Every structure is written in structure tokens, then in C-alpha cells.
Amino acid sequence: MLKDKYQQEIDELLSRYPVKRSALIPLLYLAQRDEGFVSEGAMKEIAGLLHLTPPQVYETATFYTMINLKPVGKFHLQVCKSLMCALAGSDTVIGWVKTKLGIGPGETTTDGLFTLSAVECLAACGTAPMMQVNDDYYERLTEDTFDRILADLKKDGSCSLKTGPFMWPEPAPAKPGA
């Protein structure tokens, strides 16, 4: 039960809004963090917490693409395929996933490590092509960096190539002595 595990966090989330239902998406995220996806059981529990009916929770949960209603791989590769990324070669990136991992959009590798989704614009058009892996952005992808990201994720669970606080173009570095 979420309530037993996250009582404090749930109370804090509820305190942010004058109307309980506003905490619905935050609670769906909490459930997703806990299980990796949002199960029916979690939706029923959330309905109880917010005094909603389970269908009210379900209709909201199914509307939003970031709420996973079934399990996804440990690393969820989301490659942007909108026009701006497509101009910079995002179809090629989807091709790399196919040749290197053997999966197409909507598929998961048999070891459960990687799921691929081809998604719409992620607000990184100036640094295309790009993909999001779980919470992190990886931009200006090349085949070399793509390979390194996959290898690092497999080995360490993270990769240093992820984007930090975003700025593009980057400011000129400070002149020595200035």
C-alpha cells in the first residue's frame, strides 16, 4: 500500500492544493516510482485517498502518455520523432535502436532492460537528434555517443553524457585571467 510506505509524502502533496483531486497526477507519479508503472490496485488506492471513483482516476491516468499502465524496461528510451528532430536524423536514431537492441517502438528487450518509444517533441529541437532515458535528456546524438550511452547504462545504470542545466548555444568560456 502506498499509504503505509509514503504517508508523509502523500500528506505533503495533499497540502499543496485546496482541492484534493489536484494531487492526482502527483500521486500517479508516486505510484509509478514505486512499481515502475501504475497498477489497477494503485489506482483504486489513489481513488480512495482522494475521495474519487476508480474510473475518475482511470480516465485521467489513461489520458497522459507519461503514466505507464504496464511495466516498461529498466531504461525507457524515448526518441523524439517530431519534424525538428526528423530534420536532424531522428529516424536514423530509431534505426540504431533496432540494429543494436533489436527492438522497435513499443517493444522491450527480452532481458527487460530497454523499452523504446518514439515520442513527440521534447523541447530540445536546437540540440536534435535527442532522446530521453527515464528522467535524463541526451542530445546532439551521434552513433558514437549513442553506443556509449547504451554501454554505460548497462554497466553503471547511468551515463555522464546526460544534459545538465540546459543552455544552447553554450556561453563562451571565461578568458583566462579575465
Partner 1 sequence: MPKYELILLKNMMQPGYTGSLQEYERAGGYQALRKVVGKVPPTEVTMAVMKSGLRGRGGAGFPTGVKWGFLPKDYQGPRYLCCNADESEPGTFKDRQLMERDPHQLLEGIVLACYAIGAESAYIYIRGELVLAAKILEQAIAEAQAAGYIGANILGTGITANVWVHRGAGAYICGEETALLESLEGKRGLPRFKPPFPATNGLYNKPTVVNNVETLANLPHIIGRGPEWFASIGSPPKSTGTRVFCVSGHVKRPGNYEVPMGVTFRELIYEHAGGMRSDKPLKAFIPGGASAPFLTSDHLDVKLDFESVAAAGSMLGSGGVTVMEEGTPMVWAALRLMEFFYHESCGKCSPCREGSSWLVQTMRRIVAKRGQMEDLETLVDLCKNIEGRTVCAFGEAEVAPIMSTLKYWRSEYVTLIQEAEAANLIRLEPTVARH
| Residues in touch with partner 1 (CB under 8 A) | 16, 18-19, 21-26, 28-29, 50, 59-60, 63-67, 81-84, 86-88, 120-128, 132, 135-137, 163-169, 171-174
Distances (CA, A) of 61 to 53, 73, 123: 13, 19, 23
Contacts of 54 (CB under 8 A, 6+ apart): 40, 43, 44, 47
Nearer Cβ to partner 1 (135/156): 135
Question: Scanning the structure block, which residue is given the C-alpha cell 537528434?
Answer: 129
Nearer Cβ to partner 1 (2/28): 28
Write the burial class of residue 24 (CB in 10 Å: 0-12 exposed, 13-18 middle, 19+ buried).
buried
Give min distance, CB of 168 to partner 1, in A: 4
Give min distance, CB of 100 to partner 1, in A: 23
Nearer Cβ to partner 1 (59/143): 59
Give min distance, CB of 96 to partner 1, in A: 19
Nearer Cβ to partner 1 (124/159): 124
Distances (CA, A) of 105 to 39, 40, 87, 98: 22, 24, 19, 9
Give min distance, CB of 66 to partner 1, in A: 4
Q: How far is residue 81's CA from residue 97's CA, in Å, rounded to a whole number?
A: 13
